[in-house]
Amino acid sequence: MIARAPIVALTLRGLLDRRRTWLMLALAAVPVVLVGLAAGFGDARIEPDDFDSLIVQLVLPLIALVFGTAAIGAELEEGTIVYLLTKPIRRARLVASKGVVVAGLTAALIAPAAILTGIVAGLTGNDVTSAGLAYGVAAAVGGAAYAMLFMAISTFTTRALAIGLAYVMLWEGVLADLLEGTRTFSIRQATLAVARELAGENPPEGAIALEQGVFILVAVIVGAAAVATWRMSRYQIRGGD
Amino acid sequence: MSGRSEATISVDHVSRWYGNVVAVNDISFEVGRGITGLLGPNGAGKTTLLHMIAGLLAPSAGDVRVDGATSWRRPDMYRRVGLVPERETVYPYLSGREFVQLNAHLHHLEDPRAAVERAIDRVELSHDADRRVGTYSKGMRQRIKMAGALVHDPSVLVLDEPFNGMDPRQRLQMFELLRQMADEGRTVLLSSHILEEVERLADSVLVVYAGRLAASGDFRSIRQLMTDRPHVFSVRSSDDRRLGALLLGEDCVFGVELDASGLRVRTSDYGEFTRRIPRVAQGAGIRLVELRPTDDSLESVFAYLVGR
């Protein structure tokens, strides 16, 4: 694979070390296990909204955060980025290759997690299997936006993980629920707009529209890629002495 | 390096500062084919200079050119330039061969497989090429970095402290490899804080100290300057006062101070003084207890060159 897509192959190898892979698989399994336990043993009723709290609000940003901040951020911290920067390749290609990997890995984990959660809930008598599929597809797109955003942040600061967590917890978790205007800048709200449309749900009052949601997700993906490219084309490696 | 073959690297009144800290201060030089050593103590600004030459750092002032074009923000330059960075970190999860393959494919080489094998052979790592880089010794990591920098057959090779972590045998191999590269007509610029390394390898040197260019040119003339500089020795003996008086009569001694810890003797000729003092002491029946140069660190040599 190094021959066909060297940066993609390198990034995959770097991100999928044994510990991180198990951790991410465990994280993706959380909603499946929780729904199985709640519906199987607790007789709880699973609603489409539960996909928001378990998948979109909890697991999706965390997986995207881990992959997004490590793809370029780890190379900048460890100094290995020098081997990529001293090659005759366009910085846009570097960022696009890394972006494809983080978006792909996030989607590869979150979509099956949502679909499996729907199937497990369906097996216990809840009619949310199709909602699981809808949330899975929407989360895959939302995951790309999150991962690209976090990757772009990691090109500016070594504290990308903390900043990403603050965005997810404070902005999306608190402010976007309280202040309607902030939803325009919320990847979670945009992801929910797509998921609700695909699931055929009626959006609650104050929710952003599908078109707006799609625009936000596309704008974040394209904007983050452009910002990361701009940053990497000016990235300077200070001398140690 | 004027007077040498056509310059491939040109540094023209270059400065680099970080906030109030000046790392490189108005340095100008040219480097042509062959091996040039960039010599200076740790913290002198060598890596900052090499990073500006390698296009990894923008100069705050001045211009750095490689093959006639500005090096900063010019990715196409790397078709002709290879860099061996100082940091040891190499992707630990790749094998040595995969690391060199990565470099080859990023350069879009026509026959990457042959280029990879050639580069690995040159650094004599064929037997260990399939081991993960994370299991390599420091010296092996230096060599695989070298293979990665050579895989596209660059005409300009920039190496930052390439001998760090190498054992004597590996150093000799690397010396040989670099000489071959120079004989093939390449420009090799390497940094080191070890005088002997540069002395054995480089035709020309650039001496950097505290961000300034202290000296440049043929190594022998700079070595002479270093040898001829004033030296200070700390001397203790069974009769410091009498020995001091006797030493003042020697041509190579131009100053003697006596204090509680013994004598501090200033000499203009390191070798002559170390030959004369045992004879003087023996002739006067004085027992020498200690003879120690007080300023023999490379740093003091560089400081002398700058202050000259």
pLDDT (tens digit per residue) in B130-168 = 999 999 998 899 999 999 999 999 999 999 999 887 888
Q: Closest by alpha carbon to B70, among B57, B82, B84, B83?
A: B57
Residue A27: how many CB atoms within 10 A of its CB?
Answer: 18
Q: Is B23's Cβ below 8 Å from some Cβ in A?
A: yes
Tell if the pTM clears 0.90, that is, is over it.
no
Question: Where does the pLDDT of residue B278 fall: very low under 50, low under 70, confident under 90, or very high at 90 and above?
Answer: very high
Q: Residue A91: its pLDDT value, please?
A: 95
Q: Whole-number mean pLDDT of chain A?
A: 91
What are the strands, taking DSSP E only, across B170-211? 187-192, 204-209
Q: Are B267 and B261 in contact (CB under 8 A)?
A: no
Q: Is A85's Cβ below 8 Å from some Cβ in B?
A: yes
Pairwise CB contact (< 8 Å): A87 & B103: yes
**ipTM value:** 0.90
Question: Which among A9, A85, A87 is the nearest to B56, CB-wise?
Answer: A85
Q: Per-residue DSSP letters for A128-148? A: -HHHHHHHHHHHHHHHHHHHH
Q: Would the pLDDT of B308 be above 60? A: no
Phi, psi angle pair for B211, to nearest 5°:
80, 0
Tens digit of pLDDT for each residue in A108-127? 999 999 999 999 988 887 78
Q: Would the pLDDT of A241 be above 70? A: no
Q: Would the pLDDT of B223 be above 70? A: no
Q: Would the pLDDT of B2 be above 60? A: no
Best residue of A20, A86, A237 to probe chain B, by most B CBs closer than 10 Å: A86
The proportion of chain A whose per-residue pLDDT surpasses 70, expressed as a percent, equals: 99
Find the closest chain A residue to B77 by CA distance: A88
Q: Closest by alpha carbon to A150, among A135, A166, A174?
A: A166
Tens digit of pLDDT for each residue in A40-60? 777 778 888 888 889 999 999
Cβ contacts (< 8 Å) between A10 and chain B: which residues?
91, 94, 102
Length of chain B: 308
Q: Residue B298: its pLDDT value, please?
A: 59
The more confident residue out of B242 and A123 is B242
